[in-house]
Amino acid sequence: MPRSHGSDIDKLIQLLAKLPGLGPRSARRSALQMLKKKDSVMVPLATALNDVAARVQICERCGNVDTHNPCHVCEDTRRDQTTLCVVEEVADLWALDRSETYKGLYHVLGGTLSALDGVGPDDLNVAGLINRAAGEGVVEVILALNATVDGQTTSHYLAERLADSGVRVTALAHGVPVGGELDYLDDGTLAAALRARSLV
Amino acid sequence: MPRSHGSDIDKLIQLLAKLPGLGPRSARRSALQMLKKKDSVMVPLATALNDVAARVQICERCGNVDTHNPCHVCEDTRRDQTTLCVVEEVADLWALDRSETYKGLYHVLGGTLSALDGVGPDDLNVAGLINRAAGEGVVEVILALNATVDGQTTSHYLAERLADSGVRVTALAHGVPVGGELDYLDDGTLAAALRARSLV
């Protein structure tokens, strides 16, 4: 390999290339941009990474990732404490919360049941969900798992487990995505949208 | 804005989103991945950023960015010391060096002449180039500027300035990119490739 820069810059590029969305080329571009903007980008980023790394925790109530424990969502008393929204991953929690239509609490499962990958109920935070649904004055559990085979299997399993708890168990609606064109949608989505049609 | 995570995580995401190739979405994904892989990605990246930021310098001979000064290229005595390759930016230096076909030294101009943006010869490292071409036993200067209008204008200007120095001034060949399809090439490239045709 030619050496047009030092091995420490090489190491930085290799670390950047591990981030999702950054390949080797954009990792090099990022590194160069930071080398040029040392004080406005590079040093603040290093500081932010250190700050967050030192304090990041998994919220013991909902499974969110935050620098607080309980996390900002669980601590927010303005939120509806009677509704739990069950998601697969923290990314889903953040995505739902960005939409600003849901104002309740969350529960991060940590994945889906998967016979293929050997993921059973004990590998997910199912016990925590059952406990929370039973104990915290929860009225409704919204299952917001992905519309994949594994996600839907897990939804059915959770609905069964929650059946005795007395809470209302609901799931996200299936249908045509807003802005979606019928011609590009799969048959399953079209069938679901037709079945769930409503009066205008 | 909803608060599903702390403001320090928000700040980290905003800093990541400034990197080229990372939008807000992939910055969030990157942050989340790092939060999950704290010890294998987040802490090493923070350390690498701090290490490099503390020692990054502009090579006073060629303008390369490195943690050494003179940089690794200028210090490498196995390189052909009689050839200078003139590039616009450090990224071009790195790109040429990755191709492993050029084994000489470089000179980073820092941009191109541009009447529109008010960039004159004094804003670029032209004086340094003239000095190096005159003084260091240089035999050939290869102009490797971009094939843009500004790049070519700058090439012509540099060729004139270097005319009296006695060094051989050459430029990269124009032609069909390797793997390129004629049908998708512009007329200028096709005309240049035709003019510069060679016997097979």
* Rounded percentage of chain B residues whose pLDDT exceeds 70: 98
pLDDT at site A2: 54
The answer to whether residue A186 is domain-embedded is no
Distance of CA B171 to the CA centre of its chain: 16
pLDDT at B115 exceeding the cut of 90: no
pLDDT at site A144: 92
The answer to whether residue B51 is domain-embedded is no
**Do the Cβ atoms of A21 and B22 come within 8 Å?**
yes
Q: What are phi and psi of B79, to 5 degrees?
A: -75, 150
Neighbours of B94 (CB within 10 A): 23
Q: Which of B38, B45, B56 sits opposite A15 (nearest CB)?
A: B45
pLDDT digits (tens, 9 = 90+) for B153-170: 999 999 999 998 889 999
Q: Which of B23, B28, B73 sits opposite A94 (nearest CB)?
A: B28
Q: What distance in Å separates residue B199's CA from the closest CA in chain A? A: 32
- Residue B195 in 3-state DSSP? helix
The answer to whether residue A97 is domain-embedded is yes
The answer to whether residue A122 is domain-embedded is yes
The answer to whether residue B136 is domain-embedded is yes
Pair of tokens at residue B189: 């490239």
The answer to whether residue A77 is domain-embedded is yes
Q: What is the mean pLDDT of chain B?
A: 89
CATH code: domain of residue B158? 3.40.1360.10
pLDDT at site B145: 92
Pair of tokens at residue A66: 């935050």
Q: What are phi and psi of A143, to 5 degrees?
A: -85, 110
- Please classify residue B49 by burial: count the beta carbons closer than 10 Å to its beta carbon, then call 0-12 exposed, 13-18 middle and 19+ buried: buried
- Kindly identify which residue of chain B lies nearest to residue A47, measuring between CA atoms: B46
pLDDT at site B23: 87
pLDDT digits (tens, 9 = 90+) for A89-107: 999 999 888 888 899 999 9
* H-helix or E-strand spanning residue B84: strand B80-87
Q: How confident is the model at residue B7 (pLDDT cuts 50, 70, 90)?
A: confident
pLDDT at site A192: 84
Half-sphere CA count of B194, side-chain side, radius 13 A: 8
pLDDT digits (tens, 9 = 90+) for B169-199: 999 888 888 887 888 888 888 888 888 887 7
What mean pLDDT comes out for the span B131-139? 88
Which residue of A49, A78, A85 is the best one to mutate when testing the B interface, meaning the one whose CB has the most B CBs within 10 A?
A: A49
- Residue A16 in 3-state DSSP? helix
Pair of tokens at residue A160: 């069964």
- Residues (pLDDT < 50) of chain A are 1
Which residue of A1, A12, A99 is the best one to mutate when testing the B interface, meaning the one whose CB has the most B CBs within 10 A?
A: A12
The pTM (predicted TM-score) of the whole model is 0.75
Pair of tokens at residue A161: 């487990």
The answer to whether residue A60 is domain-embedded is no
pLDDT at site B143: 93
What mean pLDDT comes out for the span B79-103? 91
pLDDT at site B106: 95
Q: Domain tally for chain B?
A: 1
* H-helix or E-strand spanning residue A34: helix A24-36
Taking contacts as CB-CB distances below 8 angstroms, the residues of chain A near B97 are 2, 4
pLDDT at site B2: 55
pLDDT at site B174: 86
Q: Which of A30, A46, A91 sits opposite B20 (nearest CB)?
A: A30
3-state secondary structure A125-168: CHHHHHHHHHHCCCCEEEECCCCCHHHHHHHHHHHHHHHHHCCE
**Do the Cβ atoms of A15 and B48 come within 8 Å?**
yes
- Look up the domain containing B124 and give its range: 80-170
Please answer whether residues A35 and A13 qualify as being in contact, where contact means their C-beta atoms are separated by less than 8 angstroms.
no
The answer to whether residue A160 is domain-embedded is yes
pLDDT at site A47: 92
Please answer whether residues B73 and B87 qualify as being in contact, where contact means their C-beta atoms are separated by less than 8 angstroms.
no
